Amino acid sequence: MVVTYLNLIIQGVLLGGLYAIFALGLSLSVGVMRFVNIAHGDFIVLVSFLLLTIATALHINVLLALVLMIPVAFGGGWLLQRVLLQRVIGPNVLLPLLVTFGLSIIVQNGLLQGFGADTRTLSAGSLDTASLHIGGFYVGLLPVLTFALAVALVVGFDWLLYRSRIGASIRAVADDVAAADLIGLSSVRVYAIAMGIVGVTVAIAACFMGLRMNFDATSGPSRLLVAFEVVVLGGLGSLRGTLLGGIILGIAQTIGGQIDGAWQVLAGHLVFLVIFLLRPQGLLPRY
């Protein structure tokens, strides 16, 4: 019994790493551009389909396809910000919400049109089934690598935002657009770079989501809800918080799924709502 639950908690923590990766991009776009990208989950699913297509067409490993995808994803995010989102961000939060909502529906139905409604999954060869034997527990190598990557990304982003020059520009624009423009920082350029970085996190999230779980053209919204709950649970703008939020949600879903398969998603939502009501500022608020 205890062993079973310990095992579930380990699985949940590892799943939480993936959820933290889902949330990183959302956290960044919320923190810098002050808007919630409703299409975040759909972009993740879109890139999963692209990775699947590239890997199949070029006969290469999905992880190699991801390496090829990263500059494309950066460019995609950059372009989206420059061409579309830049026109609607501002004091009125309604417009970016509605535009990304429209994008979400376009992406979902575009994927349905292009790839059909079948459920897909990505494969990285022998990595899919490799497992480690640690202290009496068998854990998949892939979940462990995903979790390690999540920690590395959180540390890396922390460095990027708080130690690097571009991070200083991003924070300056996030704090006060007008003042940043006044001292010669181009907010348009900084926003585009930030959205490019979001694109990179989306590509990484897409790859490891596809390796870990099934996805289809309409999986986007459920990924968005997970990412959103992780960001709010962790505390807005807090990178370490996303890791903690992801772990809590991962454990809640894994234990819920053990009780009854149908309870997996609901258990995650309910734990989110309870913690949110008790601590609306999040677990590790930055401010």
Partner 1 sequence: MPRHQRLSIAVGRIVLVGAAAILAGAPFFLGAGDLTVLTEFLCLLVLAWMWNLLAGYADIVTVGQHAFVGVGAYTFYGTVVLLGVDPYLAFAAAALMALVIALPAMMIVFRLRAAYLAVGTWVVAEVLMLIAGKLPNFGFGSGVSLPVRVAREFGARPDERFATIYWLAFALAAATFASTYFLLRSRIGLGLTAMRDNEEAAGAMGINLVRARVICFLWTAPFLGLAGAIITLQKLRISPPASFSIIDWTVFVIFNVVIGGIGSLEGPILGTALFFILREYLAQLGTWHLIILGTLSIVIILIEPRGLWGLLRRVLGGDLIPVSHGARPGFGITRKS
Min dist CB 216 to partner 1, Å, is 13
Report whether 249 contacts 268 (CB < 8 A): yes
How is residue 113 written in tokens? 């049109």
Binding residues for partner 1, rule: CB under 8 A, are 30, 34-36, 38, 84, 87-88, 92-99, 101-103, 105-106, 108-110, 112-113, 221, 224-225, 228-229, 232, 262, 265-266, 269-270, 272-273, 276-277, 280
CA distance 149 to 147: 5
User: Which residue type sits at 178?
Assistant: A
Min dist CB 89 to partner 1, Å, is 11
CA distance 228 to 37: 10
Report whether 70 contacts 47 (CB < 8 A): no
Report whether 223 contacts 44 (CB < 8 A): yes
Q: Which is nearer to partner 1, 66 or 227 (CB)?
A: 227
C-alpha distances in Å from residue 249, one per residue of 3, 140, 174, 264: 20, 19, 28, 10
Min dist CB 188 to partner 1, Å, is 17
Report whether 241 contacts 50 (CB < 8 A): no
Q: Which is nearer to partner 1, 108 or 242 (CB)?
A: 108
CA distance 170 to 164: 10
Q: Which is nearer to partner 1, 66 or 177 (CB)?
A: 177
Angle 88-170-22 from CA coordinates, rounded to 5°: 75
Min dist CB 269 to partner 1, Å, is 5
Q: Which is nearer to partner 1, 101 or 140 (CB)?
A: 101
Min dist CB 248 to partner 1, Å, is 15
Min dist CB 181 to partner 1, Å, is 22
Q: Which is nearer to partner 1, 93 or 130 (CB)?
A: 93
Nearest to 121 by CA among 23, 249, 208, 224: 208
Q: Which is nearer to partner 1, 141 or 265 (CB)?
A: 265
Min dist CB 70 to partner 1, Å, is 27
Q: Which is nearer to partner 1, 119 or 164 (CB)?
A: 119
Determine the longest span between alpha carbons in the chain, in angstroms.
62
